A = this chain, B = another copy of it.
């Protein structure tokens, strides 16, 4: 393996609604990080921005920012992986240092979003969603909401229990944010506030969704020994379409990335002192803590309920306030998570928000709807940690096989409703409110479809109708559903002789 890589300094702007331009925010963060590192000779500038062309109308952003920093001449590249851009640009910068070709590398990630109308921003963010699901009107909150409903069913929670779990995540992260001077939201949220907030996409409310934010973060990496070392990196993709996955309620990309990062750092989940977990939606924090191996599957909500994930808990999650309260400038969030972990490991924060005795910290960052996720592990260099010679991971990432995907339309007209949501804030050009559901057809294909009725229930039998590229569903009669099942079964058992020959 290459050279060791250390974090020399971090810097961050206040997150929120800003009147500054994106280059101004990014330059501010960069100068703070260079000052913090006391390093002013930079060999490479890595830039992380997600949809900067559409948000600001400027391209060629690596050269633009390097010029604004007064560093023109220094090489610069932009790295992008949707909403995990902040971690991905950190990873590419890590390789540049680990390769031995660059000594001091500046990473700057940022996004400017609040100046556009919400429907426009939602549309830009929805470009990260697979085309068919996007065409049905699915936005990020709609997909997250359907994942939430499925989690509720799999964990055997009542709607009230699930709502109470989500509320607890929001309340915890808003409390943490109230202590963080960089956070967009600094006010404590009560249970009443949570339940009074409006639906975004049932069962998710405003307080379940990370806000639209402006902000920038910078990190200086160096090959010279410093107090914080980058000890683990993991990165994995998943299918672009949510319907192509084995599970709705666990992200394979997180599990694979965690496995790589734990292996590289030669640690296990229980060695982590503090973690920043991508809570773009409150349920994602619960799922994240399970996928990272902090808690068993479908047990994350219980651990939250017991207070294990609060700042003074056993494994503090999102002491920064998370994406929920610190804010979510999409291209910057991953690097903001890393900056928070650095601060926590240094142990120099205000006592109210300092995780005591943190030695190893982790950040988990989601790209798109969990199809380009990264896990980053940082560690204090002054903490002696014996690693067995024959080290073996105890972390079980679960099923990480790639599923064979067939993009053919279903041959069946009936199926079962896997999960659904009603979306209230739809992307530009989509009718509102819109009820969407994932339907598993009788021939085992997963289809996203628009609902033609209300009062839906997970597991109910539905009938599909196709109009152009879009699928619709309504309650299906038991007789029709059963007839199709029997018909399909018969056609498999009694295959006509020439049909068999036709196969190859």
A residues contacting B by CB (< 8 A) are 1-3, 44-45, 50-51, 53-54, 57-60, 62-64, 66-67, 70-82, 88, 91-92, 94-96, 98-101, 124, 127-131, 233, 235-241, 244, 252-253, 256-257, 367-368, 371-372, 400, 402
Residues of B within 8 A of A94 (CB): 99
Most B CB contacts (10 A, CB to CB) among A45, A233, A368, A372 go to A372
**Distance between Cα atoms of A236 and B77 in the complex (Å):** 10
The answer to whether A101 and B2 touch (CB under 8 A), given A77-B80, A77-B88, is: yes
| Other-chain contact of A60, B1, B70, B71, B82 (Cβ < 8 Å) | B82
Residues of B within 8 A of A50 (CB): 59
Q: How far is the CB of A317 from chain B (nearest CB, A)?
A: 24
| Other-chain contact of A62, B59, B60, B237 (Cβ < 8 Å) | B237
**Distance between Cα atoms of A44 and B51 in the complex (Å):** 23
| Other-chain contact of A73, B60, B80, B256 (Cβ < 8 Å) | B256
Residues A372 and B1 in contact, CB atoms below 8 Å apart: no
Residues of B within 8 A of A62 (CB): 80-82, 237, 367, 372
Q: How far is the CB of A396 from chain B (nearest CB, A)?
A: 16
A contact face: mostly helix, strand, loop, or mixed = mixed
Residues of B within 8 A of A236 (CB): 73-75
| Other-chain contact of A101, B1, B63, B124 (Cβ < 8 Å) | B1
**Distance between Cα atoms of A58 and B75 in the complex (Å):** 28
Residues B73 and A368 in contact, CB atoms below 8 Å apart: no
Residues B80 and A128 in contact, CB atoms below 8 Å apart: no
Residues of B within 8 A of A88 (CB): 77
Q: How far is the CB of A44 from chain B (nearest CB, A)?
A: 8
Residues B82 and A63 in contact, CB atoms below 8 Å apart: yes
Residue of B at shortest CB range from A252?
B73
Q: How far is the CB of A227 from chain B (nearest CB, A)?
A: 22
**Distance between Cα atoms of A252 and B92 in the complex (Å):** 25
Residues of B within 8 A of A127 (CB): 53, 57-60
**Distance between Cα atoms of A92 and B48 in the complex (Å):** 14
**Distance between Cα atoms of A81 and B80 in the complex (Å):** 11
**Distance between Cα atoms of A76 and B371 in the complex (Å):** 10
Residue of B at shortest CB range from A102?
B95
**Distance between Cα atoms of A96 and B237 in the complex (Å):** 17
The 5 A-B pairs of least Cβ separation, nearest first, read A75-B235, A60-B128, A98-B99, A2-B99, A59-B127
Q: List 14 A-B contacts (CB under 8 A).
A: A1-B99, A2-B3, A53-B54, A59-B127, A60-B82, A66-B237, A67-B241, A72-B238, A73-B238, A73-B252, A74-B237, A77-B88, A79-B79, A94-B99
Residues A78 and B77 in contact, CB atoms below 8 Å apart: no
